[in-house]
Amino acid sequence: MSGKRGKLIVISGPSGCGKGTVIKKLAETTPFWLSVSDTTREIRAGETAGVNYNYLSNDEFMSKVNDGLMLEHASYSGRAGKITYYGTPKPPVLSRLEAGENVLLEIEVQGASQIKKALPEAVLIFIMPPSMEELEARLRGRGTEKPEDIKTRLETAKTEIALADSFDYTVVNDEVETCAERIKKIIEGDI
């Protein structure tokens, strides 16, 4: 096939910054395939295996890494300090890009920089919360993490925000619609 390759868009930002909501809004106006990541964390209430994530054991995850089946992978603070792994399965992403589809990855910052190294044409977008206070309020309001895990996620957020400069674009999520609109323009190559 000699068609145009799809664009690889990577969206990162601290846990609770509203990435999920912004991506849903973006999907209303912009065509892309949202990659389904592998994770070793427990499934949350309201999530569906194969839709939100593929839920793997540590051994299953590591054997995929060793077999070269992950485009990137990273560890992230899990429940009660337990190390949790997240990774992007390689074959579906590469085949969709090859078929001309835009592919969107919603991953944390370590993974985003691995993607940029492996595929420099990837467009990295960092979603910035309006403030740390707002981020904390959103994490608490979501009610999916225990108080001690929220503390860890806020600490991680500070490290992540410090790396925002290494992204191609930073978009502040003060208003979901405006944020999604800016990302749409970035994808379309308008900015």
Distance CA 61, CA 66 (A): 9
**Counting contacts by CB under 6 A, is residue 108 touching ligand 5GP?**
yes
Residues 36-95 that bind ligand 5GP (CB under 6 A): 37, 41, 72, 74, 76, 86-88
Q: Per-residue DSSP letters for 78-137?
A: -GGG-EEEEEEEHHHHHHHHHTT--EEEE--HHHHHHHHHH-TTPEEEEEEPS-HHHHHH
Rg for the chain (alpha carbons), in Å?
A: 16
Least distance from ligand 5GP to the Cβ atom of residue 15, Å: 5
**Counting contacts by CB under 6 A, is residue 171 touching ligand 5GP?**
no
**Counting contacts by CB under 6 A, is residue 184 touching ligand 5GP?**
no
Of the ranges 93-101, 106-114, 169-177, 180-188, which one interacts with ligand 5GP (CB under 6 A)?
A: 106-114
Distance CA 78, CA 89 (A): 20
Q: Which residue number places its CB atom closest to ligand 5GP?
A: 111
Question: Coil, strand, or helix at residue 52?
Answer: coil
Which residue(s) pair with 33 in the sheet?
103
Least distance from ligand 5GP to the Cβ atom of residue 77, Å: 8
* Of residues 1 and 140, the one with the C-beta less far from ligand 5GP: 140
Contact 149, 37 (CB under 8 A): no
Instruction: Retrieve residue 177's tokens.
Output: 């619609």
**Counting contacts by CB under 6 A, is residue 152 touching ligand 5GP?**
no
Least distance from ligand 5GP to the Cβ atom of residue 1, Å: 27
**Counting contacts by CB under 6 A, is residue 129 touching ligand 5GP?**
no
Residue ranges that bind ligand 5GP, judged by CB under 6 A: 15, 37, 41, 72, 74, 76, 86-88, 106-108, 110-111
